[in-house]
Amino acid sequence: MRENLVIILAGGIGSRLGDETPKQFLKIADKSIIESTIEKFEFHHMIDHIFIVTNPEYYDQTSEIINIRDFKKVKKVLKGGKTRQESSRIGVFSAGNDYRNVLIHDVVRPFISKEIIENVLKKLDIYSAVNVAIHSNDTIIEIDEKNLVKKIPDRKFLRRVQTPQAFKLSLIQKAHKLAIENNIENATDDCYLVLKFKLSDIYVINGSEFNIKITHPVDINIAREIIKNKKKRV
């Protein structure tokens, strides 16, 4: 049995970016976002294998990038589903019983750090589920259906979730099986399912402000500035 598998969810179509090119194929600096993200795990000594779950329409384009770059740790390119939850389920079920741990990561977070990956894996020695999150600098409000403020939670207990989220493989497979049995669909992330079915405690480690999710047009400019500043420091 292998230790650590990474599933990279790359099924987006770039609708919020307003671009015909899915965001994972857009270039920041000299390479595409998907290449940058894969590299973080390809060159990490604690990662054994990588699965890519892609939009079926872009299966060939994704596979071509993998082949051209000759990523050794990418063992499967899978056709994803209609939702994030379905794509994640396809990934974790495709792992069978071949791995102990699985990290699930958004392809559009290309600045995931080596330290976060290591911290997540270290905590998996203690906990069965690990989330990555950062403090919120803004006050978060809860509103009702009339757009009126319903609640203002205490900010010190609030976090903004990032990825990777990490699990014992058997645990997250069980969570997805229960989701099917209970007709749970469109979960925004995998920790939601673990919490929903009370399968395990979920430990939270600190993420990074640089671990951004490239979603809107402004995020492309932010990503390019992050790269530019990194080059200046080298």
Q: What is the pLDDT of residue 192?
A: 98
Output b/e per residue, 36-74; b: 16+ Cβ within 10 A.
bbbebbbebeebbbbbbbbbeebeebbeebbeebebebb
Q: What is the pLDDT of residue 86?
A: 97
The answer to whether residue 227 scores a pLDDT higher than 70 is: yes
Q: What is the pLDDT of residue 167?
A: 98
pLDDT digits (tens, 9 = 90+) for 107-117: 999 999 999 99
Q: What is the pLDDT of residue 106?
A: 97
Average pLDDT of every residue of the chain:
94
The three-state secondary structure class of 24 is helix
Phi/psi-derived region of residue 147, left when phi > 0, alpha when psi is between -120 and 50, beta in every other case: left
pLDDT digits (tens, 9 = 90+) for 177-206: 999 999 999 999 999 999 999 999 999 999
The distance in angstroms from the start CA to the end CA of the chain is 39
Query: Do 34 and 28 contact (CB within 8 A), yes or no?
Result: no
Q: What is the pLDDT of residue 15?
A: 54
Round to whole Å and give the CA distance between 227 and 35: 14
Average pLDDT over residues 7-17: 75
Q: Which domains does the chain have, with CATH numbers?
A: 2-133+161-233 (3.90.550.10)
Average pLDDT over residues 2-9: 97
Output b/e per residue, 138-155; b: 16+ Cβ within 10 A.
eeeeeeeeeeeeeeeeee
The sign of the dihedral angle between the CA atoms of 33, 27, 213, 43 is: positive
| Token output for 41 | 């795990």
Q: How confident is the model at residue 13 (pLDDT cuts 50, 70, 90)?
A: low
Q: What is the pTM of this model?
A: 0.94
The residues pairing with 161 across neighbouring beta strands, listed in sequence order, are 133
The answer to whether residue 20 scores a pLDDT higher than 90 is: no
pLDDT digits (tens, 9 = 90+) for 115-160: 999 999 999 999 999 999 999 999 999 999 999 999 999 999 999 9
